[in-house]
């Protein structure tokens, strides 16, 4: 957690949502009959609120969770910058290894946050969050694939888990990099329906980044 706090104190953190999350919100009516304007949503690993303000423009209320107190301190400023009513968002300091949600949600958002743990903990998080997803609800999740260049410079723990050195791109630590075939099998064997999948390859600071993006429902 100290790496996160020191990074956020130095100005780290995204102010805007990624394109894949914007697409997800636009495509919700294709995969769910739930009314998003009457729905609450969980933003996992919200950081300074770069996705939270966008979600607040579309959903009724946002529960924004992060394990960095320094990141959460900046969320109100980001909400104010984008003219978002602060009553539409609740922030909560919580570690993914021990986090608990006090109710079920229609929509759950994981924009590259759950992967910051061991592979076994990563899979355990999906099982828990499935239990907190309402019928016909959607779970957006995004995480990195094995084509991501930085794993070549990282210490391999197992086939899907690496110790990443801290850099300008990565806070570092134990992180998951996994193939889509592994996750497709896991989701189908654990009660998830894959509504949509995107494989995104981009270059960032001359390094290749592979992102897996899933829209999941309870099967």
2-146+179-218 domain in CATH 3.40.50.300? no
Give Cα 103 to chain centroid, integer Å: 19
- Average pLDDT taken over every residue of the chain: 92
H helical segments located in the chain: 2-9, 19-31, 52-56, 69-81, 119-130, 180-189
Q: For strands 207-218 and 192-204, give the pairing.
A: antiparallel
Q: Residue 59 in contact with residue 37, Cβ under 8 Å?
A: yes
pLDDT given for residue 169 in this prediction: 44
pLDDT given for residue 57 in this prediction: 96
pTM of the model: 0.93
Query: How many angstroms separate the CA atoms of 155 and 163, rounded?
Result: 5
Residue 55 predicted with pLDDT over 70: yes
Torsion of CA 30, 33, 36, 40, to 10 degrees: -120
Give the tokens for residue 94: 């919580």
Q: What is the pLDDT of residues 18-28, one digit of tens each?
A: 999 999 999 99
Residues 90-111, mean pLDDT to the nearest whole number: 92
Please list the residues that pair with 201 across neighbouring strands: 210
Classified as helix, coil or strand, 152 is: helix
Cα distances from 132 to residues 17, 43, 60, 77, 103, in angstroms, run 23, 13, 18, 29, 7
Q: What is the pLDDT of residues 193-210, one digit of tens each?
A: 999 999 999 998 888 999
Better-scored residue on pLDDT, 35 or 99: 35
Residue 84 predicted with pLDDT over 90: yes
Please list the residues that pair with 130 across neighbouring strands: none
Percent of the chain with pLDDT over 90: 80
What residue spans define the domains of the chain?
2-146+179-218
pLDDT given for residue 173 in this prediction: 82
pLDDT given for residue 174 in this prediction: 87
Q: What is the pLDDT of residues 162-175, one digit of tens each?
A: 998 765 445 678 89
Residues 143-154, mean pLDDT to the nearest whole number: 93
């Amino acid at each position: 957690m100290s790496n996160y706090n020191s990074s956020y104190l130095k100005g780290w953190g995204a102010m805007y949502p990624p394109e894949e999350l914007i697409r997800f919100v636009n495509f919700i009516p294709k995969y769910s009959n739930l009314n998003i304007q009457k729905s609450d949503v969980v933003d996992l690993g919200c950081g300074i609120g770069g996705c939270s303000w966008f979600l607040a423009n579309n959903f009724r209320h946002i529960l924004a969770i992060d394990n960095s107190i320094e990141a959460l301190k900046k969320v109100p400023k980001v909400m104010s910058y984008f003219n978002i009513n602060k009553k539409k968002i609740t922030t909560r300091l919580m570690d993914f290894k021990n986090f608990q949600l006090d109710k079920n949600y229609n929509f759950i958002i994981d924009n590259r946050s759950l992967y910051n743990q061991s592979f076994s903990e990563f899979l355990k998080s999906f099982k828990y969050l499935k239990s907190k997803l309402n019928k016909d609800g959607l779970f957006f999740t995004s995480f990195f694939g094995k084509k991501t260049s930085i794993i070549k410079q990282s210490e391999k723990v197992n086939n899907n888990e690496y110790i990443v050195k801290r850099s300008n791109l990565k806070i570092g630590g134990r992180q998951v990099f996994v193939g889509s075939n592994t996750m497709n099998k896991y989701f189908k064997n654990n009660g998830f329906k894959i509504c949509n999948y995107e494989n995104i390859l981009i270059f960032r600071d001359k390094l290749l980044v592979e992102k897996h993006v899933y829209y999941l429902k309870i099967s």
